[in-house]
């Protein structure tokens, strides 16, 4: 959804509501999918450009970084940022502490869907994974550990068995 910033009435926040259709985000090799979501954005003109407040919710499906199976989770975020027009002398803009999150726009349009996708990528975990009790990768690992422990405990080849036989011989 493209918002023409020049059409925003002076002095008031204009609010936009966006329902998000399913789509992929980020690097295709990570196959991260937004299944649904919504965004409420309020935009107002300020001396530096435009101030944008947002509230968003996304339902995400991404592969678990441990087992590779699909993992579903939610991302909720809210915040604000300042939209400035890109200018050759943009680095002269003085920012106050509230405006540290600044986006530079090429023209006076703001793509709310792009903003939504970027915020999801910022907010979602870098390595999404199941919790330990639900993750096949972790369960398989624990099972292997268990089997190994059992093998070692009833096997005379365990380090302790070797050590005790060594001590026996010394006597
Ligand atoms: Zn997993």
Cα 128 to ligand 1 centre (Å): 9
Looking at every residue in the chain, the average pLDDT score rounds to: 85
The whole-number pLDDT of residue 151 equals 82
Determine the structural domain holding residue 151 and report its residue range.
Answer: 136-170
Cα 140 to ligand 1 centre (Å): 10
Model pLDDT for residues 136-156, shown as the tens digit of each residue: 999 999 999 999 988 877 655
Question: Helix, strand, or coil here: 145?
Answer: helix
Q: What average pLDDT does range 107-118 have in this prediction?
A: 93
140 and 118 fall within a common domain: no
Question: Helix, strand, or coil here: 51?
Answer: strand
98 and 72 fall within a common domain: yes
31 and 102 fall within a common domain: yes
In a domain, 131, yes or no: no
| Residue keyed to tokens 């499906």 | 61
In a domain, 40, yes or no: yes
Residue 119 pLDDT > 70, yes or no?
A: yes
Across the chain, the runs of DSSP E, i.e. the strands, are 2-4, 14-20, 23-25, 32-46, 49-63, 70-85, 102-105, 109-111
- Joined tokens for residue 122: 């910022």
Residue 7 pLDDT > 80, yes or no?
A: yes
Cα 62 to ligand 1 centre (Å): 10
Cα 26 to ligand 1 centre (Å): 20
The whole-number pLDDT of residue 169 equals 62
36 and 96 fall within a common domain: yes
d(Cα 48, Cα 93) in Å, to the nearest integer? Answer: 8
Cα 69 to ligand 1 centre (Å): 6
Residue 58 pLDDT > 60, yes or no?
A: yes
143 and 84 fall within a common domain: no
60 and 12 fall within a common domain: yes
Cα 32 to ligand 1 centre (Å): 15
160 and 84 fall within a common domain: no
Cα 8 to ligand 1 centre (Å): 46
Domain count, the chain: 2
Cα 47 to ligand 1 centre (Å): 48
> 158 falls in which pLDDT band (50, 70, 90)?
low
Cross-strand partners of 143: none
95 and 57 fall within a common domain: yes
Q: Which residues surround ligand 1, an ion (CB under 5 A)?
A: 64, 66-67, 130, 135, 137
d(Cα 31, Cα 70) in Å, to the nearest integer? Answer: 10
């Amino acid at each position: 959804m493209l918002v023409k910033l020049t059409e925003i009435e002076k002095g008031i926040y204009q609010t936009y509501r966006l329902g998000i259709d399913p789509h992929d985000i980020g690097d295709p090799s990570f196959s991260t999918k937004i299944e649904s979501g919504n965004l409420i954005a309020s935009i107002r003109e300020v001396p530096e450009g435009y101030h944008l407040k947002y509230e968003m919710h996304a339902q995400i499906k991404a592969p678990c970084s441990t087992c590779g199976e699909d993992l579903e989770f939610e991302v909720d975020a809210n915040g604000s940022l300042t939209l400035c027009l890109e200018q050759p002398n943009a680095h002269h803009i003085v920012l106050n502490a509230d405006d540290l999150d600044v986006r530079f726009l090429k023209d006076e349009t703001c793509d709310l869907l792009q903003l939504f996708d970027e915020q999801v990528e910022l907010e979602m975990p870098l390595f999404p994974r199941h919790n330990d009790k639900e993750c096949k990768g972790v369960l398989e690992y624990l099972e292997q550990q268990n089997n190994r422990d059992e093998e070692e405990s009833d096997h005379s080849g365990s380090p302790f068995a070797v050590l005790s036989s060594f001590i026996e011989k010394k006597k």
